Structures are given as structure tokens and as C-alpha cells.
């Protein structure tokens, strides 16, 4: 080969085998440092995560600190339709090793009002889709804060697992409130069972001796607002969700610092004080099953005479003749009642004599003031309609349906037939299907 030809070939080889690849690599490296490429990569991740999670994901910056690690900074999750803020995360590190994924979140913040939406995302996008739960996932978070309009709660050392099991998928979470110095933790578990014709989800919460502020989830469960801003929950909760409906078991749970003024707000009577509610049994399937028993004890408050008069009229309670029925409010030093609901049946009984320092009181005393009994309640079985009439009197219908009582009728199983006190004749139950025309209903005296 001629020398000039060899020189030309050598130059071509240098250009195509060295210069061009070097230029290409250098250009690619330079492009990765441009804002355009960063925005392109961030947009791709936002689109992929939004489709996967079912929420609108906004990411401030995407980094790759290690070959198997992705870091997202300033992550914001938004409700797709309204654009409401669901959660924010300062830093999220995602690592994938040997087919298993792990994520570490720094300072995540959740909005209590968006917990129902977050629950649907977790339930429908993870627990209910086997293709996304075939590999284990572990998530750790530092300083998880839940914000609500009535208060906030911060959790430290949050650790969660999601793993497939033989019958479905199982998720477990444990965390410690930031104000606790011991090692006691709150445990939450969720099991999605795919056996049978109807899959179901079983939730379990165990706080142990750790009290949780009810106001933290008041935006999620509006009924918690009725307990007041200082009310706490401790104990266990079992919650089952299926296509046929939901059931809940709060047996052994305890609510402390319940504000009775807030609990009875909207009623024509006045009742104040701070109560402790202890549930011995509590199994509820709205409108179908009710088995609740426990006690409510309150010290130092005020009660309106109209409430005691209504209890005497509707529940056959006994009022002390010395009570000033014309007063607006009367102070009491102890209110103690044991309640038992089973189906549409109910029993209420005063238990002041079982409290320390009040052993000499007569049996069945429900409210005590100035060292003597004010209201006594027996343990006679009756329907819960008497309680509804006591709390919301002045109604002529058998069941006082209103905005204040709607929650009550959603939970309590309705009696088959009720007698109207004012009219003196039976009112038929509401007809919901053709089956309601069959058989002869039983008249239950409230």
C-alpha cells in the first residue's frame, strides 16, 4: 500500500474511531448538564409516576448519586382534579437491588383532609393490583407530619413493608410519636385477601398505651371533631372493607379527654365536662350489626335540667325531687353511665356508686352533684329510640331524623316497627325492597 494511502487510512481511523466517539461522549456529557436535559428527565419521571400512582406528581430535581439509586428532591403530590395538596416530601431516595425496592423519605408531610384520597390510592393502586405487588417494597421515613385544621402530629422512625403472601398482599407500618422517648411503637397492618369470590381488605391498628390525638384525622373522619380538639384514642381497631360494606371492631379501645360540650353541640340540651369512654365490646356493621358495651365517666361539669327531664320522660329515669328544674344549668361532680347496645336493644345504667369515694350512693345513680344523687338510671332493656328522643326531643315522628341524627341512623339497626308516643298508633318501617311486604312485623315499644 502506498504511503499516502496508509496515511489517509490512519487519519480516517483516528477520526472515526477516536475523535468522533470522543466528541460524541463529550457532547452527551455536556448535554446532561444543561437545564433542557434536566427538565426533560424530570418531566419523564413526573409522567411515569403520575400514571403509576394516580396522582399528579411534581418533582423539583432528579439526581443519580449511585448506579442503583435515584434521588427526587422537593416532591409534591396533588389531587388530579382539584390540584389540592396531598403530600410533600423534601427528599426521596429510591434504591433497587436484586429485584427488591426500598425508599427513604425525608420530612414527608400529609394533609389530613386528603387522607381519604391517599387511602384510595394505596388501596387501589397497590393492594388491589397483583402486578404491582409481586416484589417486596420497604419504605422508611423521618419525621412524618400529618397536618389538620385542628392540630398536627409528627411521627419519627416510620418503617413500612409491602410484600406478597400466598393469599394476597400484606402491608405493615410501625412508627413512634415524636414526643415519645421510649421504644413503644404504633403498629398498623393491612392484608388484602384475594381468596374466595369477593376479595376483602383487613386493617388492624394497635397503639398500645400510646394516645393518638383524634383531631389529627378529624379532616378524614369528621365524626372525630365531635370529640373535641384534645380527645385521644388508645387501644386496638380492626376494620374490614369488602364489596358488601365495612365492619369495625373497637373492643378494648379507650377515648380520653372527650369534650362533652362539643359532643352534644347542636342538641337542645347542655352538657359540659371532660369524659373518658372505655369500650369493652364494639362491633359495628352499619345498619346491620351492632354490639357495643362500655362506660362513660366524666368529672366536674354542668348539665341542663331539660336533659334530665327528657331522660325521665323517654327513658324512665328518676330525678331527685330537690333538683331545681327551672335552672339553666346545674353543676355536677360526677357522671358515670354504663351502656350496652345489641341490635336495636339498649340498656343504660348509672354506675356512680362503683367509683372511688362514692360507694355509699344508691345503686343506679347516673349524675351526682353536691354529694347527692341528681339522676338515676336503671338497666331496663329498651330500644335506642328513647335515647334519640332524649337527645333530640320535640319531634312527632317515631325516629327524629335530622342533620344531627343522620349519623345515628346510618349505624344503628332500625327496630322492626316503632310506636309513636304522640299519635298512639304504629308507624310502618320504611320500605326498601319487595321483601319488606312479606311477613308480619313485630311491634317494639321504645
pTM: 0.74
Residues 161 and 179 reside in one and the same domain: yes
Residue ending a domain, among 204, 223, 249, is 249
Query: For residue 117, what pLDDT is reported?
Result: 87
Domain membership flag for residue 356: yes
Q: Give pLDDT < 50 ranges for the chain.
A: 395-400, 402-403, 416-446
Picking from 129, 216, 149, the residue whose alpha carbon sits closest to that of residue 177 is 216
Domain count, the chain: 2
Residues 212 and 273 reside in one and the same domain: no
Instruction: Classify 66 as helix, strand or coil.
Output: strand
Residue ending a domain, among 223, 249, 275, is 249
Query: For residue 178, what pLDDT is reported?
Result: 85
Residues 330 and 387 reside in one and the same domain: yes
Residues 127 and 206 reside in one and the same domain: yes
Q: Whole-angstrom Cα distance, residue 20 to residue 31?
A: 16
Paired strand residues for 95: 69, 102
Residue ending a domain, among 192, 217, 249, is 249
Residues 201 and 129 reside in one and the same domain: yes
Domain membership flag for residue 148: yes
Query: For residue 433, what pLDDT is reported?
Result: 42
Domain membership flag for residue 420: yes
Residues 327 and 427 reside in one and the same domain: yes
Supply 240's cell numbers.
374490614
Residues 242 and 275 reside in one and the same domain: no
Domain membership flag for residue 383: yes
Domain membership flag for residue 226: yes
Domain carrying residue 419: 255-446
Supply 394's cell numbers.
320535640
Residues 371 and 287 reside in one and the same domain: yes
Residues 245 and 175 reside in one and the same domain: yes
Picking from 350, 408, 399, the residue whose alpha carbon sits closest to that of residue 379 is 350
Please, which residues have CB within 8 angstroms of residue 253's CB and are 6 or more apart in sequence?
233, 234, 235, 236, 237, 278, 279, 282
Domain membership flag for residue 120: yes
Domain membership flag for residue 352: yes
Query: For residue 351, what pLDDT is reported?
Result: 95
The CA-CA-CA angle for residues 163, 72, 36, to 5°, reads 135
Supply 424's cell numbers.
298512639
Domain membership flag for residue 10: no
Residues 377 and 286 reside in one and the same domain: yes
Query: For residue 256, what pLDDT is reported?
Result: 95
Residues 407 and 335 reside in one and the same domain: yes
Query: For residue 431, what pLDDT is reported?
Result: 41
Report which DSSP code applies to 441: P
Query: For residue 420, what pLDDT is reported?
Result: 42
**Residue 192 in contact with residue 126, Cβ under 8 Å?**
no
Residues 241 and 323 reside in one and the same domain: no
Query: For residue 140, what pLDDT is reported?
Result: 93
Amino acid at each position: 500500500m502506498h504511503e499516502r494511502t496508509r496515511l489517509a487510512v490512519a487519519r480516517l481511523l483516528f477520526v472515526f474511531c477516536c475523535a468522533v466517539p470522543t466528541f460524541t461522549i463529550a457532547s452527551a456529557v455536556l448535554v446532561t448538564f444543561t437545564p433542557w436535559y434536566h427538565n426533560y428527565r424530570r418531566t419523564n419521571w413526573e409522567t411515569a409516576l403520575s400514571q403509576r400512582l394516580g396522582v399528579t406528581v411534581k418533582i423539583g430535581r432528579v439526581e443519580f448519586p449511585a448506579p442503583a439509586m435515584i434521588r427526587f428532591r422537593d416532591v409534591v403530590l396533588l389531587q388530579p382534579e382539584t390540584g389540592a395538596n396531598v403530600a410533600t416530601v423534601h427528599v426521596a431516595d429510591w434504591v433497587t437491588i436484586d429485584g427488591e425496592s426500598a425508599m427513604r423519605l425525608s420530612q414527608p408531610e400529609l394533609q389530613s383532609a386528603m387522607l381519604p384520597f391517599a387511602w384510595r390510592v394505596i388501596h387501589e393502586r397497590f393492594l388491589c393490583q397483583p402486578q404491582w405487588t409481586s416484589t417486596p417494597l420497604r419504605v422508611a421515613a423521618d419525621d412524618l407530619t400529618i397536618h389538620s385544621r385542628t392540630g398536627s402530629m409528627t411521627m419519627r422512625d416510620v418503617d413500612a413493608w409491602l410484600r406478597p403472601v400466598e393469599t394476597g398482599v400484606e402491608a405493615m407500618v410501625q412508627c413512634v410519636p415524636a414526643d415519645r422517648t421510649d421504644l413503644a411503637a404504633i403498629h398498623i397492618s393491612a392484608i388484602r385477601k384475594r381468596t374466595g369470590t369477593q376479595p376483602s381488605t383487613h386493617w388492624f391498628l394497635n397503639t398500645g398505651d400510646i394516645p393518638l390525638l383524634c383531631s389529627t384525622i378529624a379532616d378524614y373522619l369528621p365524626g372525630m371533631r365531635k370529640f373535641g380538639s384534645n380527645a385521644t384514642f388508645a387501644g386496638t381497631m380492626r376494620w374490614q372493607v369488602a364489596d358488601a360494606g365495612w365492619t369495625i371492631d373497637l373492643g378494648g379501645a379507650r377515648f380520653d379527654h372527650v369534650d362533652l360540650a362539643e359532643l352534644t353541640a347542636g342538641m337542645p340540651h347542655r352538657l359540659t365536662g371532660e369524659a373518658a369512654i372505655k369500650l369493652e365490646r364494639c362491633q359495628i356493621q352499619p345498619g346491620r350489626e351492632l354490639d357495643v358495651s362500655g362506660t362513660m365517666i366524666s368529672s366536674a361539669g354542668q348539665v341542663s335540667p331539660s336533659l334530665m327531664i327528657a331522660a325521665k320522660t323517654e327513658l324512665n329515669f328518676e330525678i331527685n325531687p330537690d333538683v331545681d328544674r327551672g335552672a339553666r344549668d346545674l353543676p355536677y361532680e360526677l357522671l358515670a353511665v354504663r351502656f350496652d347496645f345489641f341490635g336495636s336493644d339498649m340498656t343504660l345504667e348509672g354506675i356512680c356508686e362503683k367509683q372511688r369515694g362514692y360507694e355509699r350512693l344508691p345503686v343506679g345513680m347516673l349524675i351526682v352533684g353536691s354529694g347527692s344523687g341528681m339522676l338515676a338510671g336503671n338497666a331496663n332493656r329498651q330500644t335506642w329510640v328513647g335515647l334519640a328522643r332524649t337527645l333530640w326531643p320535640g319531634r312527632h315522628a317515631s325516629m327524629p331524623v335530622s342533620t344531627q341524627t343522620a349519623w345515628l341512623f346510618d349505624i344503628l339497626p332500625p327496630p322492626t316497627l316503632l310506636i309513636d308516643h304522640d299519635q298512639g298508633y304504629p308507624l310502618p318501617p320504611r320500605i326498601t325492597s319487595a321483601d319488606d311486604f312479606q311477613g308480619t312485623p313485630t311491634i317494639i315499644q321504645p
